[in-house]
Structure 1
Amino acid sequence: MARRTLGVLGGMGPAATTAFLARVQALTPAQQDQDHIRILADINPRVPDRQRAPDAAEAMLGQMAMRLRDAGAQVLAMPCNTAHALTASIRKVGLPFIDMIEETTAVATAGGARKVGVLATPGGEALYTRALQARGTKIVRLTGADRLAIMSGINAVKAGDLGEAPRAEMRRLAATLVAAGAEVVIAGCTEVPLLLDAGDVSVPLVDSAEVLAAACVKACR
């Protein structure tokens, strides 16, 4: 089977995108350069805020998808959970689009978990709520001040802070979800796994970026 070229809509944020690209490389079974996937990446930090300016963001994402298609991409992926609310313009370009939310939800529920915790932006949380409920699974959400705390952690990564303070806070937030009954925790924002490792959580941690990377390898090889 011929390999397909992957087009990546990135830059939301840049650190999460480069970490995702590293995951694709690491998950690809390869003995030499030629065994790897060809990737065309548009790492565009100028995409407007996905929650405050969704219309402008969606228009730019559509333009990015068209440019990737015209450059030779055959499959599209976007390592930003929140932006998956704005995929209509991406899908219109006519290429297969790997849905990060659907892929991650499938992995998180594959073991039969009935309560799944989600660490995400409000927009990403809404997407996972719908996807989990469609599978008959209950979502466990952060509440109160913790909803602001996770955004502080996400913004810390965007500002280049991967230090112990945001890491400790992300561990605390994950533990809060587990204490509330989560049997699995989804790292539902691509900045989250830059602060949180599987060993930091007492239940399985599903890294949405890693799930997407694995799906991209499968689709393109």
Structure 2
Amino acid sequence: MRESLTLGVLGGMGPAATLDFLAKLQAYTPAERDQDHIRVLVDINPKVPDRNVPGSGAGAVLAEMAGALQGAGADVLAIACNTAHAHAALIQRASGLPLIDMIETGARAARETGAMRAGVLGTKGGIRLYREYLAAQAMSPVVLSPERQEAFMEVLYRIKAGDLGDDVRTAMKAFADELVSQGAEVVVAGCTEVPLVLRQDDLRVDFVDPGDLLARRCVAICLGYEPVPQALGA
């Protein structure tokens, strides 16, 4: 068996979502012993400035994290945060490493459901990214109204604060139902906190969890079952 690639993960945005991603990496790896698992270098850095605040300086911090992961031995990168993908180019330039893109993964999976309109539950920055990637898949995004988007962010920050209770779960399901009522044929978890409180069983349309799919792709790529994405500028 050939040696697997080492995965570098930029995490901590937020910590609970990163731990959920790492648990999925472990669960999806076909292993009979410790040595069969892939090596993962992860920077769980909750000190990254808020990606939802313009000019916060998050890009520079993420670039520094990526460079450190490369220096520690990472061969390929993943970002356990949708909104942070706005800095994907900077992260790749700083590290010189290829990135397994969660936004691309999620948008492609949404298209593979056969849907033409995808509801996106995410931050404003995450929605902008999905709008671009969905357009490349000939799909249209469905999003919450400005007022409901503000309400979504309030619920999102409650999840980041550790609230996974019934009220939060009910609110998230209501947001998803609104998107479906507006014509969404599939709902995409455009923020890694969303799947912590929302599941496929909560919806009457397909539910795409890009973080889950990213974990599967990371395992496949690191074990050589799927080609490594081309590095930026390669």
TM interval, short-chain normalised: over 0.9
Tell me which residue corresponds to 2:156. 154
| Residues 42, 64 of structure 1: 8 Å contact kept | yes
**Alpha-carbon RMSD:** 1.1
User: Is 1:94 the counterpart of 2:109 in the alignment?
Assistant: no
- Separation (CA, whole Å) in 1 of partners of 2:113 and 2:195: 21
Q: Residue 56 of structure 1: CA displacement?
A: 1.2
- Separation (CA, whole Å) in 2 of partners of 1:168 and 1:63: 38
- Separation (CA, whole Å) in 2 of partners of 1:79 and 1:155: 17
Tell me which residue corresponds to 1:38. 39
- Separation (CA, whole Å) in 2 of partners of 1:15 and 1:31: 27
The Cα offsets for residues 145-201 of structure 1, whole Å up to 9 and x where unpaired, read as 210121112101110100011100000111111111111100110000001011011
Q: Which moved more, 1:115-124 or 1:142-151?
A: 142-151
User: Is 1:203 the counterpart of 2:205 in the alignment?
Assistant: yes
Q: Residue 102 of structure 1: CA displacement?
A: 0.5
Q: Residue 134 of structure 1: CA displacement?
A: 1.7
Alignment-mate amino acid for residue 135 of structure 1: Q
User: What secondary structure is seen at the aligned counterpart in 1 of 2:8?
Assistant: strand
User: What secondary structure is seen at the aligned counterpart in 2 of 1:136?
Assistant: coil
Q: Residue 55 of structure 1: CA displacement?
A: 5.8
Alignment-mate amino acid for residue 133 of structure 1: A
Tell me which residue corresponds to 1:76. 77
TM-score of the two chains, using structure 2 as the length reference? 0.92
Q: Residue 54 of structure 1: CA displacement?
A: 4.2
Aligned pairs (5 A) from 1:56-71: 56-71=57-72
Tell me which residue corresponds to 1:141. 143
TM-score of the two chains, using structure 1 as the length reference? 0.97
- Separation (CA, whole Å) in 1 of partners of 2:184 and 2:210: 17
| Residues 48, 54 of structure 1: 8 Å contact kept | no
Q: Residue 96 of structure 1: CA displacement?
A: 1.2
Alignment-mate amino acid for residue 70 of structure 2: R
The Cα offsets for residues 55-74 of structure 1, whole Å up to 9 and x where unpaired, read as 61100111000110010111
User: What secondary structure is seen at the aligned counterpart in 2 of 1:205?
Assistant: strand
Unaligned runs of 5+ in 2: 224-234
- Separation (CA, whole Å) in 1 of partners of 2:56 and 2:153: 22
1:178 to 177, 180, 190: 180
Tell me which residue corresponds to 2:30. 29
User: What secondary structure is seen at the aligned counterpart in 1 of 2:57?
Assistant: helix
Aligned pairs (5 A) from 1:39-54: 39-54=40-55
| Residues 113, 206 of structure 2: 8 Å contact kept | no
- Separation (CA, whole Å) in 2 of partners of 1:48 and 1:213: 24
Alignment-mate amino acid for residue 126 of structure 2: G
May I ask how many residue pairs the two structures share in their alignment? 221
Q: Residue 51 of structure 1: CA displacement?
A: 2.2
The Cα offsets for residues 104-130 of structure 1, whole Å up to 9 and x where unpaired, read as 101110132101100000100010011
- Separation (CA, whole Å) in 2 of partners of 1:191 and 1:220: 25
